[in-house]
Amino acid sequence: MREIIFDTETTGLDNKADRVIEIGGIELLNHFPTGRTFHVYINPGDRKVHPDALAVHGITDEFLKDKPLFADIVSDLQEFFDGAKWIAHNATFDMGFINAEFERLGLAPVPSDMVVDTLALARRKHPMGPNSLDALCRRYGIDNSHRTKHGALLDSELLAEVYIEMLGGRQAAFGLTTIETRRNQSSEVDDVIEISYDRPRPLAPRLAATEVEGHAKLVTRLGGKALWAKYDG
């Protein structure tokens, strides 16, 4: 299963008027980072960065002047995300901006069943919160001390670590757990559902008492000749 953990930075909060100015993404394959990333800064045209947004991410109008327009990077963006789940923290916000940019170019929106919101997952796992990215980093012992400002690629890297931990950590791929997405009727994105197939109780032993006894006698006869004896004790 291929997933892209991503984040955006924008000129403001209104996706009808404000624009995307940074996108960062981390590729996961079966919940493990592949090392492939996507990162781009984007010129928002005549839309200026709102002071409140500037205080959050620190990306200035001057810095963005020579960056490509969204239309110039959209094919690279679509190629990187093609066929993968779009996974973001508070994904409704990010997808609102991405789909607004697509709409301006006459492109189809990202299907809602291809989007997963890690904030919804966190709220279900930790209903008492808090569930901001910083709070989840603290909860899972992920170092975010270098996060002095929001940044799309940095936040994607941190969220990838958080997401893996929420799904059971780096050993999750070896467990009998499947990950599904199901429609959240109160939002535009899917929730992640963990379904565990761990047995509620161990299976009863299948060896008869005579077989166990016979094995013990064999081990005794082998004594020091047993292959594993040099590792014993």
CATH of the domain at 48: 3.30.420.10
36 within domain boundaries: yes
Q: How far apart are CA 149 and CA 56, in angstroms?
A: 6
Total number of domains constituting the chain = 1
49-100 pLDDT, tens digit each: 999 999 999 999 999 999 999 999 999 999 999 999 999 999 999 999 999 9
- State which amino acid sits at residue 122: A
146 part of the active site:
no
Q: Domain limits at 42?
A: 2-196
The two structure tokens encoding residue 56: 């959050």
184 within domain boundaries: yes
Q: How far is CA 134 from the centre of its chain?
A: 15
**pTM attached to this predicted model:** 0.72
116 within domain boundaries: yes
92-131 pLDDT, tens digit each: 999 999 999 999 999 999 999 999 999 999 999 999 989 9
207 within domain boundaries: no
User: Could you say which of 31, 39, 126, 150 is catalytic?
Assistant: 150
211 within domain boundaries: no
Q: How far apart are CA 183 and CA 194, in angstroms?
A: 14
